[in-house]
Structure 1
C-alpha cells in the first residue's frame, strides 16, 4: 500500500522556534538547504524519511509525535465550527480550510477558542433572557405567552362561551344532537353555510377551510367524526359569537393584534368544546364514571384528548369539578398544548422534567400509565399519561405522535378510578419531579440536564457522581 506523504510544516516550524534557530541555522543542523526547509514549513514539500531521522537524531524528537493526526482533527473541528449558523459567513472551500489548519494551526486553534467563547456568550445571554422573563423584569411576553397567561388567569374557564356552547348543545339535542350531521344542519339552516366533507378545491388540505364567498366549509374526510364536529362548532363560534369574543378580547387588553388573533382561535375552540361536551352533562358524567377517560370518550362520542382537555376547564363557579392540569407533549419533549387548574405549572423555556411520566408514555402507545409525583414545593399529584398517534392518511402523509398528560392533586384521588389500587400513604411511592432543569433546585437528580440558574456549582475532581458537579 502506498504510504501517505507527510505535510507537517507547522510542527517543523514550532520545533525550530522552540530551538530559537533561524531557517538557515535549522536547515544546516538537518543537512538540508534553507529553501527546502522553507518549502517544508509552508507545506509545499512533504517531509522525507531522511529529514525525520535527522530530526530524531539532532533534536531528540519522537517521530510518532510528528503524525498529522492532530492536523486532521483540527481540520475537522474548524470545518464543524465554520458550519455553525452562529458564524454566519460565506463558507471557505475545503482546500482553504486545510491550508489554514496545516500552515497556521495556532491561528486555527485561536479561531476555535473564539467560536467556543461566542457560543458560551450566546448561551449566557439566553439564560439571562430566561431569568428576566421568569422573574418578570422584562414585561414583553410573546403573543402566544399573552394568550396562554390569559387563559391561565381565568382558570381556563370562559363563562359566557361555556353557557353559549351548552345552550347550543341543548338546542341540537332536540334533533340530531352535537353530531357532524346535527351541527352541519344547524350552520346551514341558520347561516347558509354548506358543509362539504372532502378535499377542498385549493388542494391545501388541513382540518378545516371556510370560503366566505361560496359559503362552503370544507372538512378533511380523514378526520374522525369527533374532530369534524369540533371544527363545525368552531366555525359556528366565529360566526355567531364574534361580538362576545371581541368583548372578551377587549377586556383582556392584549398588546398586539397577533395576540388577539391567537386568542380568537382559542376562544372559538373553547366554545366548540363546550358545545360538544356541555358542562352540566359532562361534569355529571365525569363524576358518575369517576373520570374514566375511555368510558367518557365512548359516552360522549369524542376522543380521549377532547375529554382530557375538557376536564381541565370544569371551573364554573358553584359547579366546579376536580381541578386538573392537561398537556400535550411531542416526542422531543416540547409542550404543544397546556392548561392547568392546579398549582402545577409548566416550563416556559426548555423541555419539561424528564422524570415526568408524559415522556415514558411513548414506550407503551395507547395505554394509560400512572405516576404518583411530588413537586419541589411538596405538593403531590396523580399523573396520567397516554401516547397517541394521529395518522395523516396515505403512505407519504406525515403521522403525528404525542403524549397526553392529565393530572390532579392527590387529595382528589378518591374521585379518580385510576387511583383505586395505589398506595397513597407511603412517601416513597411518590417520585420527585420538577418543572424544568433550569429552575429546579433539587440537589440530587440523576436526570439533570443542566445546572439550575441560581445555585453555585461545586466541582470535585476526585469524586465523580451521576452528574459531574454538586450544588451548594
Structure 2
C-alpha cells in the first residue's frame, strides 16, 4: 500500500504564526534546519513524521489539523466556480487547483470571492435588463453569502463561543433547568421575560427591558430563544470580539453574523460540548434520544452534531443540510469530503428530497459520490406549524450523514449492508458539475463536458455526455 505524503505548508505556517514564532525559532523547537522548515512551509517537501511528533509533544498541537484544513473545500468550491461557462477555454487542471488550495489558500478564497461577486452582478444585470430594458446597474454584494462562507471555513466550530456556551450550559442552575438559568441570567441584566400570543418568536424591547416570547412556540424553541437572548446580552463582548477578527466587509454582514453567533451559542449552551459528545457516542447518535435528553428538537440536534469539531476532542465528521420543498438549500455545512453546491439545489437522487413524502419518519440511504467516497445519509422532514388554524406551515427536510467508515457508530446503520457495492446509490453534487454520464435524473448538461447530439437516436437523455 502506498503511503500518501503529507503536504501541509499553509497549515504549518498558520500554526507557527498562531504560536508567534519566527521560522528560525520554530525550526529549532521542531529539531529541523531553517531551510528544511522553509521547504516544508512552501510545500517543496512533505511534513516529516519527526515534525508531526514534535508538533504534538512540544506544542500540544492536534496533528489532525495538518490533514483536515480548508484544502478539500477550496478545491471543491474552485472546481464548481470554474465550471462557469466564462472559464470554458481557460479552466486549469485539477492538479493546479490542489496546488493552489495547499500553497495559496488566500489566493483561492480571493478568486472565489471575485467569482461570487461576478455571478451576483451578472444575475442582477440580467434581471434589470429584463425588467427595465437596460443592463448597466451595479449589483450589491451578498452579506448572507459572506457570513455563510465564514462559518463554512471555520468548520462550523467557533471555539471561544462554544466554550463560553459550555460553561453556561453546565453551570449548577443550567443543570437543573437551562430555561430557568437563562431567565435568571437575563434578570441579572435587568431584563424581564413575558409571554404573549404573537406570530413571531421573540421580541426584545430595549427601552422597557422586556423580552417577549410567543406562547405558540414549542418548549425546545422557547429554550433556544431564551439562550439566544442570553448570548446577545451576557456574551456581547465575546461576540463583538469574534466579529472583529472576522473582518466582514459590510455592517449588514456583521449584523447577520452576530445573530449567527448568538444562535451558535444557544445551541452549544443547550447541548454543552463534552456532555453532548459523550451522550452522542453513548446513544450511537440517536437523534430522538439526544433530543429527549437535552430538550432539543431533531433539527437542533442534527445541526449540533455537525459542529463537533473541537481540536483534541472531535466527534464524527458529519454533513448537515436543510432544504425547502423546491430543493433550495437553506442551511448547509460539511465536515466531510462531501461539499454542497454553492449555487442552486442538491442532487435529486439524494434521499433528503424524499423526506417530504414520509413525514415523521427517518429515511436511510447509502450513497456514493462521483469521487468514489461512500456515505450513509439520514433524512427527515422538519415541518414547523404556525401555532394556530390557518397559520402558514414552514416545511423543510434535513439530512445528516457521514462517511460509511463510521457506520458502526450510528444506530441508523444497523441492518444496512455496507459491504455490498450495489447497495450504494450514485449521487452527485449538482447537475452542472456532476460527471456522471447516464444519470436518468439529470436536469442540465455538465458544463465541463462536450456533448454529442444525434437527432436519429434518443437515449435516457437527448444528448450524450463526452
Question: How far, CA to CA, are the matches of 2:448 and 2:213 in structure 1?
Answer: 50
The structure with the largest alpha-carbon Rg is: 1
Residue 265 of structure 2 is matched in structure 1 by 271
* 1:436 partnered with 2:430: yes
In structure 1, C-alpha distance between the alignment counterparts of 2:208 and 2:291, rounded to whole Å:
35
Alignment partner of 1:307 is 2:301? yes
Contact 1:199 1:218 in 2 (8 A): no
SS of the residue 1:332 aligns to: coil
Is the 2:194–2:210 contact (alpha carbons within 8 Å) kept by the matching residues of 1?
A: yes
Of 208, 211, 225, the residue aligned with 1:214 is 208
Alignment counterpart, residue 138 of structure 1, candidates 111, 115, 122:
115
Determine the structure 2 residue equivalent to 1:195: 193
Tell me the distance in 2 between the aligned counterparts of 1:224 and 1:409.
Answer: 33
Q: 1:172 Cα deviation (Å)? A: 4.5
Task: Note the 1:293-442 alignment, pairs <5 A.
Answer: 293-442=287-436
Q: Tell me if structure 1 keeps the 8 A contact 2:174–2:180.
A: no
How much is the aligned-residue C-alpha RMSD, in angstroms? 2.1
Q: Secondary structure at the match of 2:433?
A: coil
Alignment match, 1:177? 177
Aligned with 1:400: secondary structure? coil
| Unpaired segments ≥5 residues, structure 2 | 1-82, 92-107, 118-140
Unpaired stretches in structure 1, ≥5 consecutive residues:
1-125
Q: CA 1:174–1:259 in 2, change beyond 3 Å: closer, same or farther?
A: closer
Whole-angstrom distance in 1 between the partners of 2:181 and 2:236: 22
Structure 2 CA distance for partners of 1:172 and 1:234, relative to 1, 3 Å: farther
Give distance in 1, aligned partners of 2:275 and 2:181: 18
- Three-state SS of the structure 2 residue aligned to 1:365 is coil
**Matching residue of 1:445:** 439
User: Which stretches of structure 1, 4 residues or more, deviate above 6 A after TM superposition?
Assistant: 129-135
Secondary structure of 1:148's aligned partner: helix
Report the CA distance between 1:128 and its aligned residue: 4.6
* CA shift for structure 1 position 175: 6.5
Residue 163 of structure 1: aligned partner: 163
Using the size of structure 2 for normalisation, the TM-score is: 0.70
TM-score (norm 1): 0.69
* Structure 1 residues 368-389: Cα deviation after superposition (integer angstroms, max 9, x where no partner): 0100011111111100000122
Larger mean CA deviation between 301-310 and 163-172 belongs to 163-172
Partner Cα distance (1:177, 1:186) in 2 = 12
Q: Distance in 2 between matches of 1:445 and 1:130?
A: 25
Q: Contact 1:169–1:177 at 8 Å: present in 2 too?
A: no
Partners of 1:177 and 1:193 lie apart in 2 by 19
Shift in CA distance, 246/130, structure 1 to aligned 2, threshold 3 Å: farther
Aligned ranges for residues 110-129 of structure 1 at < 5 Å? 128=85
> How many Å apart are 1:238 and its aligned residue?
0.9
Secondary structure, aligned partner of 1:230: helix
Alpha-carbon distance in structure 1 between the residues aligned to 2:414 and 2:295: 26
